[in-house]
Structure 1
Amino acid sequence: MLHKNINDADIDETNRRRLSIAFGLERMGLIAVRAPILSCVILAILIVAAIFGIQRIKIDDSLSQLFRSDSKEFQQYEQVTKRFPSTEFDVLVVVEGKTLLARDNLEKLRDLVTDMQLVDGVRGLISLFSARQAPEPGRLPAALFPNELPEGDAYDKFIETVKANEIIRGKLLSEDGTLALVVLSLDPEIVGNNKLASTIGEIRKVMAEDLAGADLSRQLSGVPVMQLEIRNAVERDGLIYNIAGILAGCVIAILFFRKISFMVVAAFPPLLAILLSLGVLGWAGFSLNMFLNVMTPLIMVISFADSMQLTFAARDRLIAGEDKYTAFRNAVLVVGPACVLTHATAGISFIALQFSDSDLIRAFGEAGLVATVIALVAVLSLVPVFGVLLVRNEQAFAAKFQSGDLGVNALRRFCAFIAVRMVGRPGLFSLLALLLVGGLGVIYANLEPRYRLADQVPDKQQAVQASDRLDAKLTGANPIDVLIELPKGQTLYSPETLQTIADVHAMVEKQAGVGNVWSLETLRRWLAEKARTDDVATLKEYVDVIPEHLVRRFISADQAAVVVSGRVPDLDSSEILPVVQKLDKALDAVRQKHPGYEVAVTGLSAIAARNSADMISKLNHGLTIEFLLVAVFIGLAFRSVVVMLACILPGIFPVVLSGTLLWVMGEGLQFASVVALTVSFGLGLSATIHFLNRLRLESPPGASAAVAVERATVLVGPALILTTVVLACGLGVTVFSDLPSLRLFGWLSAFAMVAALVADLFILRPTAMWLIGMAERLRGNRKPKAAM
């Protein structure tokens, strides 16, 4: 059969000396092997430097990082968070239970509110106990809750009064009286450093102690809690990815190579590439975030495929009788050009991310490009270095595996079985592939952009669950703000300004989907209803006695701007966007009525709703352009139109198949999925490039195209299958993440890698065979010869 007695050493020297598809860049791998001991010393120094670099990596846990850009909307949002430091530093305490307003439970809840004010880092809070009674003339209003709660029928009547209070009803206490919200305002310095964990931990401890014995659930949410959970998840995931990636690579390598030395040669260069890449990223000032956290498995993916190809090629030559120096040198010269090209296509994928409007995604693309270059140099240099240092007794090794190489031979028999059938009827299989990819492409084109804030937050922790309860009971946990900037000549308490605030407040209240609206107008209405006064002096007096941290929620320190704040549920951006657009349009009437006042809808929910769909669509369009650019690039590298056309269908297939799976699951296109598909497209072409490179070497003038395709398949197939398994495992470990976006990125990337292998075996072979035959017929030859 075809697979028998085929190995890498069978390649004719004339074919190997053809003009390199990497323009000779693969020869960088021969530099280190000339002085392997010195190379290892330099490597040790670089490892030490990388370890120090890794320690410099910080974690960016900001929820707004995905939308960070130079756009006017985001700059405006950042200014609002600086001038009105509230939502970015609010911890939301959600206490719920059917007996919440029972006398004993209410006493415990008040004790909790009192004790939480004493927690280090808490600068103030708002709760139902903040509510006041109707004010008496000339006196500040008394607290709604007396020091000693009434009993019996008096208590029941008091609770009805509490539930009807305009300040807290539907805002700090649910309409049915079963859920209470306590808003803790943290010191901004606490949120921005490592003290946040101890502060949140102390709050949890106080909750557990003060509510012990009460049949009440208690959960924390809010931006600081979400940031802490993201930080913890990123640190935990990084550890899992490193351990799982190392184990996957080592286990699979040792199973098939059956020698520790070859396991080290195949698996250690990718691991060292990870270490060196992370070190460089640390020294370069990159921060670890929801996307950069997958850099470890991505580096593993990029480098392990080529490491396995080089190791397999050298192993074949050792079995054929070459000494280790010659074997690894020839492996670099034969497989190295494809390695350079695979890293180049992966680099193009990362470069494509630079066209995103998101600073986060652009930073991910930059980091990926840096890691790709480092991985290429590490693999090409370290595989031959480790090979010449660790491989011993080449003659004994060759004798052992010439007589029995069960694992690899089994894979070669499978590859030969596939190849023979794929080249048998190339026209039919090519047509079926074209129809299949076209049909899947139509489904992929109908995918709609999707985004939810909760996808960035660990969904197995408290924050998302607490937010869901706020969505259900208090109209939502996510803020949406309307910024009002005063024109020159107007003051905060001028009649025109107060009327503008009142008109905006009314518009926000009327907007369907927005609730829990607060502003200076809330206090003004309360005074008008309870104190029977709309006197500006009284309003100013009440504002002056309110704690500073509460005033800054709605009035800037220079009193040149105010905010009307509401809440919306954490729904998909496609559902929030109409709410934002209708509100913005409704505010046009206010803008016309009060010229000079700048009125803008902002807040993270508004930014996400406006920008997410557009950003995802741009990324998707960039992926479409990438298809063409990469195909042209590969065609130019091989100097062949046949190669350019041959790589299109197998390159597109994993993307459209993965997109179809998302469509079936009702997921749509999210940031994580479109980035995963963009990167997976570049990485998935690794198998295509290695096959085409080997087909080129197996195609001397006059050779049969069918035989060349079959030989190339048998030679590169086993390594491609093994690397796909490792890559899928390396990416698949992200399913253990608490972050939904990372889980989606991981399993979708793993699925795309497997789909790329399927495309390589069942689409690329017949397509290449048919294109070669068509090219020969156009040249006037009757029998298809290899024309790569």
Structure 2
Amino acid sequence: MSHHTDATPPGDARPINIAFGLERLGLWSLRIPLVAALIFAALAIGAGIGVSRISVDDSLSQLFRSDTPEFKQFEQVTKRFPSNEYDVLVVVEGKTLLERDNLDKLRSLVTDLQLVDGTRGIISLFSARAAPENGRIPAPLFPETLPDGGDYQALIDKIRGNDIIRGKLLSDDGTLALIVLSLEPSVTQSTKLNGIVTDIRKMMDEDLAGSGLKGELSGVPVMQLEIRNAVERDRLLYNTIGFVAGCLVAILFFRRVSFMIIAAGPPLIAILFALGALGWLDFRLNMFLNVMTPLIMVISFSDSMQLTFAARDRLIAGENKVQAFRNAIIVVGPACVLTHATAALSFTALMFTESDLIRTFGEAGLISTLIALVTVLTLAPLLGVLLVRGDMTRLKTGKNADTGVQALRRFCAWIAHGMVARPGLYSIIGILVVAGLGVFYAHLEPSYRLADQVPDKEQAVQASGKLDNKLSGANPIDVYVQFPPGADLYSPETLSVIDQVHETVEKQAGVGNVWSLDTLQRWLSQKLGKDDVATLKQYVDLLPAHLTQRFIAPDHGAVLVSGRIPDHDSSRLLPVVNQLDAALAPIRVAHPGYQIAVTGLAVIAARNSSAMIEKLNRGLTLEFLFVAAFIGLAFRSITVMLASILPGIFPVVLSGTVLWWMGEGLQFISVVALTVSFGLGLSATIHFLNRLRHEDDEHYAADPAVAVERATVLMGPALILTSIVLACGLAVTVFSDLPSLRTFGWLSAFAMMAALVADFLILRPTISFLRIHLRGSRRGQPSIHSRAAE
């Protein structure tokens, strides 16, 4: 095959520069390679220090952090009643739980847990008290020494019928017990948490040994720890394994380690530089920023591979290495600039959402994209000059022939020839397919579950599932009651409001395990026969501070009525939240001075997740047209603008259709994955259109189809290898403990292959059809199909 090696194609006019000359930034490293290498080495050291500064943000509420009144109220409640944020839930289960020996072992565990460093209180079935007698302080429900025989069975019957324990701390079937261990806030936010959780698990194993009982941990601190560990592990392990596997694929085709390094080195260094910059700028790693590494890889590797292929072709054609990489920058560089620019636009759009987490993700993505662009443009030619050795022209023929790449070229030529032979037919088929897939995509419903953000191969999710099944739920749902100024906690009206709110929450279907000050008041009325304020005050003062602070604000200006709700999808939780909020409306009307609001993380998630996902999805949809217009403006061509729409949309709607077929909803991480696929599809489109620009000179302009075929043959192999490498790099994340990262991995890998299909089967006939009918065609030029292997 003959190769075009001129930086500027022959003809009367130089092609327009779609990057306004910004690609020439990559030429400076060719002028001073040794100095550039020293600069990169120094930057790598600084970036390494920056990476070490990155910490993990394991907050479960960060996704919904915003300036909305609902979230501000949630933060206010969390500050005044912080218990739920610092509770470790110890779940002990077994069919023989209430046997005498096992109950003794369980009590020993509760006693030992109180000695855990950082513990400020504990609630369990052993916290329950018997009915008070003769005005004395109630005795513990469990005697110091458990009775035997019939007396023990009577005790068990009393325990299972106790209103404080039943359905709250002990399941109705008597096979599951809940122990709530409250930790000091300072402990949960430090490195001590890992050691404390390890100590708790060790105590469970030792105290429950030989009992047949199984203990598991859940609660916000445990979930945060598991998220933290999974994020730190996955960030390096899976990306490294996947990228190495992909690089091995590249070596098989390049047949030289040096070219593999030239192609893979810039993306890896771009990841280091970007993460280092984020570390120096105090960004914190979370479930979104955890996918920044593969995002940078996606954005950078495609461009790096195209530059490497272009330079390699020129070396084989006989150019020296400086000329080859200089011409590669001039020809391919503008497309690299434009691909990064479109990615930057996508990230910029995310900076206008309500969620702080998504805005931060947009900012980090914009910074990383700019760093990746500069790194790829400057480092690829530098590595080429430093690493390429020997004469490449021998790969043209003989036993050293470039068989792997030539096979890919022949395949690309065959596909391109078939697509441009009947461009009108295939263009119509492409439109119908995308439209049909779009119908299925439109039926995707927003989906969010807290469990999707937590490693599901660890204990927290499993323990929460057991609480959902046997104790009405693991997630707190709270009703916050703020008193009017001057109102007293023990005034008749205030106690009446608390009683009405408590009763309303108890009656709400889907909510259980309800606790409040009214729980104590009812217990005193039923067991002691007293409902006067003095007795209530007396018993409130007798309770431990860590217990009363769960329901009564320190200044006695507000109370909390707290229940539990299962960790269902937000679409199932939202009706429950709305029904409860509506049921509380009459109380608000009857007592206008009291602020009564349903809140809690589960409530915030149910209310906000669907709206936020829908906004992100609409933003992605609008982005199709906006980015297509941007590409058309850069190329100064309506034809290019129209041709870029379908290939960009196809991988998104196809991936969405697969989600719909699997019965999956559209999650936050799904939208991010679809954004990645959109970006990859655009990258392939831009590189092809840029290559087509250079092939569309006087010799090939007579027949637009010939230029399309030649551009496909020249850049197709790089596109195929890029897709394979990136799919390998991302697909390996399906082994992650984080469900969200697994979803991101398989969906992105699938979308990348879909983008490859769209590039060959939709873009080629579409651009041929539009070029023929919008500018006319002169026939008679020979097809490159017959010359593909020359």
TM-score, L = length of structure 2: 0.97
**Residue type at the aligned position of 1:752:** A
CA distance in 1, matches of 2:314, 2:13: 14
Residue in structure 2 matching 1:280, options 274, 277, 281: 277
Distance of aligned partners of 1:759 and 1:715 in 2 relative to their CA distance in 1, 3 Å threshold: same
After TM superposition, list the pairs within 5 Å mapping 1:77-92 onto structure 2. Answer: 77-92=74-89
Structure 1 residue 378 displacement after superposition: 0.4
**Residue type at the aligned position of 1:441:** G
- Could you give the per-residue CA deviations for residues 205-260 of structure 1, whole angstroms, max 9, x where no partner exists? 00000000011111000000000000000011012134224413431232211112
CA distance in 2, matches of 1:379, 1:736: 30
Residue 577 of structure 2 contacts residue 603 of structure 2 at CA under 8 Å; is this kept in 1?
yes
After TM superposition, list the pairs within 5 Å mapping 1:644-723 onto structure 2. Answer: 644-701=641-698, 702-723=701-722
Secondary structure, in 3 states, of the residue corresponding to 1:451? coil
Structure 1 residue 716 displacement after superposition: 0.3
The equivalent of 1:399 in structure 2 is 394
The equivalent of 1:739 in structure 2 is 738
Structure 1 residue 489 displacement after superposition: 1.9
Structure 1 residue 193 displacement after superposition: 0.7
Structure 1 residue 33 displacement after superposition: 1.4
Residue 245 of structure 1 contacts residue 297 of structure 1 at CA under 8 Å; is this kept in 2?
no
CA distance in 2, matches of 1:429, 1:16: 33
- Could you give the per-residue CA deviations for residues 604-640 of structure 1, whole angstroms, max 9, x where no partner exists? 0100000011001000110111001100000000000
> Is 1:580 aligned to residue 577 of structure 2?
yes
The equivalent of 1:239 in structure 2 is 236
Structure 1 residue 534 displacement after superposition: 0.6
After TM superposition, list the pairs within 5 Å mapping 1:101-180 onto structure 2. Answer: 101-180=98-177
Residue 250 of structure 2 contacts residue 725 of structure 2 at CA under 8 Å; is this kept in 1?
no
The equivalent of 1:608 in structure 2 is 605
Structure 1 residue 304 displacement after superposition: 0.8
After TM superposition, list the pairs within 5 Å mapping 1:126-525 onto structure 2. Answer: 126-393=123-390, 396-403=391-398, 404-525=401-522
Structure 1 residue 535 displacement after superposition: 1.1
CA distance in 2, matches of 1:365, 1:749: 18
Residue 163 of structure 1 contacts residue 177 of structure 1 at CA under 8 Å; is this kept in 2?
yes
CA distance in 1, matches of 2:526, 2:37: 80
The equivalent of 2:627 in structure 1 is 630
**Residue type at the aligned position of 1:397:** M
CA distance in 2, matches of 1:239, 1:271: 12
Structure 1 residue 16 displacement after superposition: 9.3
Secondary structure, in 3 states, of the residue corresponding to 2:421? coil
- Could you give the per-residue CA deviations for residues 560-600 of structure 1, whole angstroms, max 9, x where no partner exists? 11000000000000000000000001100110111100000
CA distance in 2, matches of 1:582, 1:83: 26
Structure 1 residue 96 displacement after superposition: 0.7
The equivalent of 1:764 in structure 2 is 763
CA distance in 2, matches of 1:641, 1:464: 52
Structure 1 residue 501 displacement after superposition: 0.3
> Is 1:593 aligned to residue 559 of structure 2?
no
CA distance in 2, matches of 1:109, 1:16: 86
Secondary structure, in 3 states, of the residue corresponding to 1:571? coil
Residue 246 of structure 1 contacts residue 271 of structure 1 at CA under 8 Å; is this kept in 2?
no
TM-score, L = length of structure 1: 0.97
Secondary structure, in 3 states, of the residue corresponding to 1:762? helix
- Could you give the per-residue CA deviations for residues 676-701 of structure 1, whole angstroms, max 9, x where no partner exists? 11232123211111111111111124
**Residue type at the aligned position of 1:718:** P
CA distance in 2, matches of 1:665, 1:620: 19
Residue 772 of structure 1 contacts residue 784 of structure 1 at CA under 8 Å; is this kept in 2?
no
CA distance in 2, matches of 1:776, 1:7: 24
Residue 74 of structure 1 contacts residue 607 of structure 1 at CA under 8 Å; is this kept in 2?
yes
Structure 1 residue 267 displacement after superposition: 1.1
Structure 1 residue 13 displacement after superposition: 4.5
Structure 1 residue 263 displacement after superposition: 1.7
Judge which range, 303-312 or 237-246, deviates more.
237-246
Residue 681 of structure 2 contacts residue 759 of structure 2 at CA under 8 Å; is this kept in 1?
no
Secondary structure, in 3 states, of the residue corresponding to 1:423? helix
Judge which range, 256-265 or 403-412, deviates more.
256-265
Distance of aligned partners of 1:5 and 1:663 in 2 relative to their CA distance in 1, 3 Å threshold: same
Residue 239 of structure 2 contacts residue 730 of structure 2 at CA under 8 Å; is this kept in 1?
no
- Could you give the per-residue CA deviations for residues 360-399 of structure 1, whole angstroms, max 9, x where no partner exists? 1111111111111111100100111111111123xx2222
Distance of aligned partners of 1:531 and 1:204 in 2 relative to their CA distance in 1, 3 Å threshold: same
Secondary structure, in 3 states, of the residue corresponding to 2:195? helix
> Is 1:29 aligned to residue 26 of structure 2?
yes
CA distance in 2, matches of 1:82, 1:364: 26
**% same residue:** 68
**Residue type at the aligned position of 2:393:** A
CA distance in 2, matches of 1:160, 1:124: 27
**Residue type at the aligned position of 2:772:** G
- Could you give the per-residue CA deviations for residues 178-205 of structure 1, whole angstroms, max 9, x where no partner exists? 1000000001000001000000000000
Residue 773 of structure 1 contacts residue 784 of structure 1 at CA under 8 Å; is this kept in 2?
no
CA distance in 2, matches of 1:784, 1:481: 76
**Residue type at the aligned position of 2:458:** Q
Judge which range, 164-173 or 746-755, deviates more.
746-755
Residue 241 of structure 1 contacts residue 296 of structure 1 at CA under 8 Å; is this kept in 2?
no
**Residue type at the aligned position of 2:714:** L
CA distance in 2, matches of 1:27, 1:340: 10
- Could you give the per-residue CA deviations for residues 481-533 of structure 1, whole angstroms, max 9, x where no partner exists? 00000001211111111000000000000000000000000000000000100
Residue 647 of structure 1 contacts residue 764 of structure 1 at CA under 8 Å; is this kept in 2?
yes
Structure 1 residue 703 displacement after superposition: 2.9
CA distance in 1, matches of 2:732, 2:46: 28
CA distance in 1, matches of 2:641, 2:611: 31
- Could you give the per-residue CA deviations for residues 153-194 of structure 1, whole angstroms, max 9, x where no partner exists? 111111011100010000000011110000000010000010
Residue 239 of structure 2 contacts residue 733 of structure 2 at CA under 8 Å; is this kept in 1?
no
Structure 1 residue 291 displacement after superposition: 1.1
- Could you give the per-residue CA deviations for residues 250-308 of structure 1, whole angstroms, max 9, x where no partner exists? 31232211112212211111111111110000001100011111111111111111111
CA distance in 1, matches of 2:610, 2:636: 39
The equivalent of 2:639 in structure 1 is 642
- Could you give the per-residue CA deviations for residues 528-552 of structure 1, whole angstroms, max 9, x where no partner exists? 0001001111111111111111111
Residue 349 of structure 1 contacts residue 681 of structure 1 at CA under 8 Å; is this kept in 2?
no
Secondary structure, in 3 states, of the residue corresponding to 1:287? coil
**Residue type at the aligned position of 1:723:** T
CA distance in 2, matches of 1:8, 1:435: 39
Residue 705 of structure 1 contacts residue 785 of structure 1 at CA under 8 Å; is this kept in 2?
no
CA distance in 1, matches of 2:706, 2:69: 60
CA distance in 2, matches of 1:703, 1:186: 77
- Could you give the per-residue CA deviations for residues 15-72 of structure 1, whole angstroms, max 9, x where no partner exists? 8942211111100000121100000111111011101111111100011111111111
Residue 313 of structure 1 contacts residue 335 of structure 1 at CA under 8 Å; is this kept in 2?
yes
CA distance in 1, matches of 2:238, 2:109: 40
Distance of aligned partners of 1:402 and 1:370 in 2 relative to their CA distance in 1, 3 Å threshold: farther
CA distance in 1, matches of 2:28, 2:47: 22
The equivalent of 2:788 in structure 1 is none
Distance of aligned partners of 1:236 and 1:8 in 2 relative to their CA distance in 1, 3 Å threshold: farther
